[in-house]
Structure 1
């Protein structure tokens, strides 16, 4: 059971860092530090969007954009952190 706990924590950590990379990359694109005309940047951006858009679209159904701000990544990050806290607090059930 310990390995299930560790695998779940690993998956949540990977999801957390992928979303964080997506948010940082979106800022860099909006501030024109990164250019989408570069093939590597465009491929990374497209891959991250394809990976995260199904998750974000589910959140956007419940929480619409407020004055142009998209809170979907923030809500998903808070959800991941909450899941990690719940798993960590109930870790004794896995051992």
Structure 2
């Protein structure tokens, strides 16, 4: 059962990595460091959007409109950290 605990933590870490990568990439695109017309950048950007949209969509429906500021990645990261805290505090259930 401990392997299940470690797999869950690994999945949370991968999700956290994708959210942070998406966040950094959005800033780089906004400040025109990365060009969305480049094929590799475009593939990575649209791939991350398709991957993270099922996570962001319910959060965006709940959050009020903040103009151009999207707080969905921040809320998603906080949710991932909260799930990780719950898992770590209940590690005895996995042993």
The interval holding the TM-score normalised by the smaller chain is over 0.9
Q: Which runs of 5+ in 2 are unaligned?
A: none
Q: Which runs of 5+ in 1 are unaligned?
A: none
Note the C-alpha offset of 1:64.
2.7
Which residue in the other structure is 2:72 paired with? 72
Note the C-alpha offset of 1:67.
2.7
Deviations 1:47-77 (A, max 9, x none): 0000111211110111133132111010000
- Which moved further from structure 2: 29-38 or 66-75? 66-75
Moved over 3 A (4+): none
| Aligned CA-pair RMSD | 0.8
Q: Quick check: 1:37 aligned with 2:54?
A: no
Residues 64, 70 of structure 1: 8 Å contact kept: no
Which residue in the other structure is 1:49 paired with? 49
Equivalent positions of 1:1-95 (< 5 A) are: 1-95=1-95
Output the TM-score relative to the length of structure 1: 0.96
